[in-house]
C-alpha cells in the first residue's frame, strides 16, 4: 500500500498526536505510524502535571475543553525547609501562570478522539518502521501493517518516537545535530495512592535532595 502525505510522524505519544492536530488546524496533511496498539498507548500512565505552556498549546489545538472541565488547577507550591513550609504563589496576578493536574492518559484520549472525529486515526501496530531517502526531496517511511508493506511518501518526517525510537538512529551522523540540557540531578517517582499529598504541590528539601508530593487526578 502506498500513501502520500505532507508530514509523516513516527510515534503517537503526546508529541506526535499534538503535532498532527496542530498541523491539521493549519491545513497540513499528516499521518502517524505507531508501533503499539491504541489500547496500549491509551493506558500508558505517565505525566499528571501540565505546565501553562502545555495547556496553551492544547487550547491552540482545540482540544482543551475536557481539560478545563476536569483538570485541577494549582495556584502555588509549598516548599519546606527545616520543618517550615514556604508557600510560593503562582497566582495569575503574580506570574500569569498556573499548573494543571490532568493525566497524560486523558490527554492521549482527547487527542485520539480528535483524530477519530476527522477520520485520521494513526496507523497503530506499525511494525518494523524504517526511514529512507532522508537526504532526498521526498523521503519515505515504510512499515509492516496488517500483513502488508506500507510505504509513506512525505515532504517531511518528524520523529516523535523518543530517545530509543527508530528516527534518531536513521539520521546520518554527518548531519545529526543534538541539543541537550543536562541537569546535575536525577529523580525517582513513586505513586502513593493512599496518602494524598497536602493541597497543591509540596516539596521538602534538605542537604541531600528534595522529596516532592504531587497530586494526581482520580
Ligand atoms: C513516571 C513519569 C511521570 C511523568 N510526569 C510528568 C509530568 O507530571 N508532567 C510532564 O509534563 N511530563 C511528565 N513526564 C514526561 C512525559 O510523560 C513525557 O515527556 C511524554 O510522554 C513525552 O511524549 P512523547 O510523545 O515525546 O514521547 P512518548 O510518550 O515516549 O511517545 C513515543 C511514542 O513513539 C512510539 N515509538 C517508539 N519507537 C517507535 C518505532 N520504532 N516505531 C513506531 N513508533 C515508535 C512509542 O510506542 C510511543 O507511543 C513523566 C514521565 C514519566 C515516565
| CATH assignment of the domain containing 22 | 3.50.50.60
Pocket test for ligand 1, best of 48, 162, 168, 170 (most atoms within 8 A of CB): 162
In a domain, 161, yes or no: yes
Report whether pLDDT(103) > 60. yes
Rounded distance from Cα 161 to ligand 1 centre (Å): 8
In a domain, 30, yes or no: yes
Rounded distance from Cα 105 to ligand 1 centre (Å): 11
Please give the mean pLDDT across all residues of the chain: 89
Burial of 64 (0-12, 13-18, 19+ CB in 10 A): buried
pLDDT given at position 10 = 98
In a domain, 207, yes or no: no
Q: Which domain range does residue 164 map to?
A: 2-75+97-173
Residues above pLDDT 70, as percent of the chain: 92
* pLDDT, mean of residues 21-42: 96
Report whether pLDDT(41) > 80. yes
In a domain, 209, yes or no: no
* pLDDT, mean of residues 44-63: 92
Written in H, E and C, the secondary structure of 131-185 is EECCCCCCCEEEEEECCEEEEEECCEEEECCCCCCHHHHHCCCCCCCCCCCCCCC
Q: In the block, which residue shows the cell 497530586?
A: 215
Per the model's pLDDT, the better-predicted residue between 210 and 160 turns out to be: 160
| Predicted model pTM | 0.89
Three cell numbers at 187? 529523580
Atom of ligand 1 nearest to the CA of 167: 41
Using CA atoms, how far apart are residues 124 and 29, in angstroms rounded to an integer? 18
Rounded distance from Cα 162 to ligand 1 centre (Å): 7
In a domain, 18, yes or no: yes
pLDDT given at position 183 = 87
Identify whether the C-beta of residue 196 lies closer than 8 Å to the C-beta of residue 215. Answer: yes
**Phi, then psi, of 164 in degrees rounded to 5:** -95, 10
- Strand-pairing partners, residue 10, are 33, 159
pLDDT digits (tens, 9 = 90+) for 80-95: 888 888 888 877 667 7
Using CA atoms, how far apart are residues 164 and 11, in angstroms rounded to an integer? 11
The number of domains in the chain is 1
Residue 71 is classified by DSSP as P
pLDDT given at position 166 = 96
**Phi, then psi, of 94 in degrees rounded to 5:** -85, -45
Atom of ligand 1 nearest to the CA of 36: 47
Residues above pLDDT 90, as percent of the chain: 60
Which protein residue's CA is at the shortest distance from atom 50 of ligand 1?
A: 47
> Hey, which of 64-68, 81-85, 100-104 has the most confident mean pLDDT?
64-68
Using CA atoms, how far apart are residues 157 and 139, in angstroms rounded to an integer? 7
Nearest-10 Cα torsion for 172, 8, 46, 99: 100
In a domain, 206, yes or no: no
In a domain, 8, yes or no: yes
Report whether pLDDT(200) > 70. no
In a domain, 185, yes or no: no
Amino acid at each position: 500500500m502506498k500513501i502520500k502525505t505532507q508530514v509523516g510522524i513516527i510515534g503517537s505519544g503526546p508529541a506526535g498526536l499534538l503535532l498532527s492536530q496542530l498541523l491539521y488546524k493549519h491545513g497540513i496533511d499528516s499521518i502517524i505510524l505507531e508501533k503499539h496498539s491504541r489500547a496500549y498507548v491509551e493506558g500508558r500512565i505517565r505525566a499528571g502535571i501540565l505546565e501553562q505552556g502545555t495547556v496553551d498549546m492544547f487550547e491552540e489545538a482545540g482540544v482543551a475543553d475536557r481539560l478545563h472541565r476536569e483538570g485541577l488547577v494549582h495556584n502555588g507550591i509549598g516548599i519546606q525547609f527545616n520543618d517550615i513550609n514556604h508557600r510560593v504563589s503562582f497566582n495569575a496576578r503574580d506570574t500569569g501562570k498556573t499548573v494543571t493536574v490532568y493525566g497524560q492518559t486523558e490527554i492521549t484520549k482527547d487527542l485520539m478522539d480528535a483524530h477519530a472525529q476527522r477520520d485520521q486515526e494513526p496507523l497503530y501496530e506499525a511494525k518494523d518502521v524504517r526511514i529512507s531517502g532522508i537526504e532526498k526531496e521526498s523521503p519515505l517511511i515504510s512499515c509492516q501493517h496488517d500483513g502488508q508493506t506500507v510505504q509513506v511518501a512525505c515532504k517531511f518526517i518528524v520523529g516523535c518516537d523518543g530517545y530509543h525510537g527508530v528516527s534518531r538512529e536513521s539520521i546520518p551522523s554527518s548531519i545529526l545535530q543534538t541539543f541537550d540540557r543536562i541537569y546535575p540531578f536525577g529523580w525517582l517517582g513513586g505513586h502513593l495512592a493512599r496518602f494524598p499529598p497536602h493541597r497543591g504541590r509540596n516539596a521538602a528539601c534538605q542537604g541531600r535532595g528534595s522529596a516532592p508530593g504531587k497530586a494526581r487526578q482520580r
